[in-house]
């Protein structure tokens, strides 16, 4: 064959391939970033124009102000993008960006030529075809044989996951999440509007609203079941079967995940969902989602991305925490697999990444591990995610596995703790959970700081009257010995003691005697008839407050 003809055929094939590749991108969703927020009609000094009163109050309570990231995307820029024939689908004020539906290459070129545009990148096809996969759970026969000793609720089979983290203790004290707003960000909430497990949530008007950032509407009840299952672990209320960890909290249900696909746009959707949760004043966000690899391999994350500063969802998760939200995210279910590590946004800084254990407190093999690529310990805490007792979207009760379940179980308990200490910051709450958890003195990348006990954290906060609890307080402790103890403990301290306090896990003062046995070594003797369990010592010195704990047996 003539060489010129061969070259012509090769060129034609190459052109056809490139053309098809370009056409395959359209219609598509692009992440368009803007250069600035110049000439905005909004002001940092007047946040009521773009944030709810509750959002402003949450920040003010924690000494957090508004900044340029809170200012909405400039509407003039949005208009310029729409004028190209493309359609702005969503917008992100934190990232100063928008998700734009672009129909052809000429629209993309026109957008990139706008002086207000910094960059653009494809994030997903507009039309999606992959079918949904059902969440695997094991249906079991309803049973109420296993009961809590707490008279307030009949927990039934859900007792183990409640009791493991001390949520039943908080319920008995009257803290059931009242007044705390939780935003659940997930893939859909099938039948939440009819499922009997949510009767009290609906009837008491505590379902504040819904948003769907996948479809661009407010309807989530017909979407995937995963979010509804997770919600049952927090908000469910069927006595004798399942009681959620925060059965009296208020809820926003937000869909950010398209269960039919795995596209990087779902991270962008999460950003917008978190911004909405912030704007309506959510105190807590809980997300049982995570991202590592995608349908399009070119978008896959690599381990080096897990530094909390690379993936857009991780950046946003940290921002949400810095704006006063207590952010929880599932560690992921890649443990022992090819990936093994946590995903995005579980790598974010200042959030609570949750791993899974079984009912005996043993690490679930599927639970993803840390560290982050920059060396931070992850997960932060662990709760029951193996054989968790959950309500399906059809109203049937089942057991299921996943850090997806460990996360909402803990989220509801956090709501109870924050309700008890409303003037504390989100970081103070997280700190209290860590320093009283089962591995507080020896955290690792499997359990994190361990399994929390919410009542222990509650008592710890009672012992600290200073609102601004800092992570550095971990070092302000003394070694108590023997531990476990029978009727006395000892400690050494080179500071002048002004006051010592001994308390049980409910915050009750316990009588004791204190004697200095030798220079800087003290013996604390208590009543041998005290109930077995965890006790806290708070020592006020001329240099500050020191806290420790021991177990009486």
The pLDDT assigned to 152 comes to: 67
Please report the pLDDT score of residue 403 as a whole number: 97
pLDDT at 466: 52
CA distance 104 to 106: 6
Report DSSP letters for 204-218, one per residue: TT-EEEEEETTTTBS
Q: Are 252 and 184 in contact (CB under 8 A)?
A: yes
pLDDT of residue 316: 96
pLDDT at 124: 65
Coil/strand/helix, residue 234: helix
Contact call for residues 344 and 311 (beta carbons, < 8 A): yes
**DSSP per residue, 495-523:** S-EEEEEEEETTS-B--EEEEEEETTEEE
- pTM of the full structure: 0.80
Q: H or E segment at 441?
A: none
| Tokens at 287, concatenated | 């997300």
Nearest-angstrom CA–CA distance, 352 and 448: 10
DSSP state of 524: E
* Burial profile 101-110: b = 16 or more Cβ within 10 angstroms, e = fewer: bbebeebbeb
Please name the residue ranges forming H helices in 294-350.
312-322
Which residue positions in the chain have pLDDT lower than 70? 1-26, 124-152, 465-477, 505-507
Task: Assign 1 to helix, strand or coil.
Answer: coil
> Is 284:182 a contact under the CB 8 Å cutoff?
yes
Contact 237/203 with Cβ under 8 angstroms?
no
- Predicted local confidence at residue 544, as pLDDT: 73
Q: What angle in degrees, to the nearest 10, is found between the helix axes of 226-235 and 403-420? A: 30
What local confidence, expressed as pLDDT, does residue 129 receive?
A: 28
> What are the contacts of 40-48 at 24+ separation with CB within 8 A?
40/71, 40/72, 40/74, 41/75, 42/71, 42/72, 43/71, 44/68, 44/70, 44/71
pLDDT at 350: 93
């Amino acid at each position: 064959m003539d060489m010129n003809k061969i070259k012509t055929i090769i060129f034609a094939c190459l052109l056809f391939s490139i053309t098809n590749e370009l056409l395959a991108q359209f219609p598509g969703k692009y992440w368009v970033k803007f250069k600035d927020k110049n000439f905005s009609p909004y002001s940092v000094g007047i946040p009521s124009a773009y944030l709810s009163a509750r959002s402003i109050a949450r920040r003010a309570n924690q000494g957090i102000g508004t900044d340029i990231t809170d200012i909405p995307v400039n509407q003039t820029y949005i208009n310029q993008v729409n004028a190209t024939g493309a359609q702005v689908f969503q917008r992100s004020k934190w990232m100063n960006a928008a998700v734009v539906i672009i129909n052809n290459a000429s629209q993309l070129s026109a957008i990139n030529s706008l002086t207000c545009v910094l960059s653009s990148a494809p994030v997903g096809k507009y039309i999606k075809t992959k079918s949904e996969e059902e969440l695997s759970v094991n249906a079991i026969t309803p049973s109420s044989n296993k009961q809590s000793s707490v008279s307030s609720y009949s927990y039934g089979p859900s007792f183990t996951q409640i009791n493991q983290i001390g949520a039943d203790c908080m319920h008995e004290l009257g803290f059931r999440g009242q007044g705390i707003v939780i935003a659940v960000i997930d893939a859909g909430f099938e039948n939440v509007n009819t499922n009997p497990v949510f009767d009290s949530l609906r009837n008491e008007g505590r379902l504040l609203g819904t948003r769907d950032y996948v479809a661009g509407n407010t309807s989530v009840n017909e979407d995937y079941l995963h979010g509804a299952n997770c919600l049952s672990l927090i908000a469910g209320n069927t006595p004798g079967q399942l009681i959620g960890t925060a059965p009296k909290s208020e809820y926003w249900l937000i869909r950010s995940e398209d269960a039919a696909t795995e596209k990087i746009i779902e991270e962008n959707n999460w950003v917008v969902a978190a911004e909405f949760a912030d704007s309506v004043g959510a105190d807590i966000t809980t997300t049982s989602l995570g991202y590592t690899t995608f349908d399009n391999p070119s978008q896959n994350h690599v381990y080096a991305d897990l530094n909390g500063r690379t993936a857009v969802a991780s950046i946003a998760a940290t921002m949400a925490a810095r704006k006063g939200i207590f952010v929880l995210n599932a560690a992921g279910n890649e443990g022992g697999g090819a990936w093994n590590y946590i995903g995005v946004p579980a790598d974010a800084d200042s959030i609570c990444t949750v791993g899974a254990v079984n009912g005996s407190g043993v690490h679930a093999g599927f639970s993803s591990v840390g560290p982050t690529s920059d060396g931070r310990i992850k997960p932060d805490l662990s709760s029951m995610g193996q054989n968790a007792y959950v309500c399906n979207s059809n109203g049937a009760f089942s057991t299921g596995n996943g850090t997806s379940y460990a996360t909402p179980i803990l989220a509801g308990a956090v709501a109870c703790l924050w309700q008890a200490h409303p003037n504390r910051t989100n970081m103070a709450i997280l700190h209290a959970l860590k320093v009283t958890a089962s591995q507080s003195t020896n955290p690792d990348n499997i359990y994190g700081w361990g399994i929390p006990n919410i009542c222990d954290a509650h008592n710890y906060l009672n012992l600290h009257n200073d609102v601004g609890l800092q992570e550095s307080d971990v070092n302000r402790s003394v070694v108590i010995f023997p531990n476990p103890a029978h009727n006395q403990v000892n400690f050494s301290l080179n500071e002048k003691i002004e006051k010592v306090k001994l308390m049980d896990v409910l915050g009750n003062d316990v009588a004791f005697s204190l004697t200095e046995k030798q220079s800087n070594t003290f013996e604390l003797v208590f009543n041998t008839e005290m109930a077995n369990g965890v006790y806290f010592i708070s020592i006020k010195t001329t240099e500050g407050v020191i806290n420790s704990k021991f177990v009486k047996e």
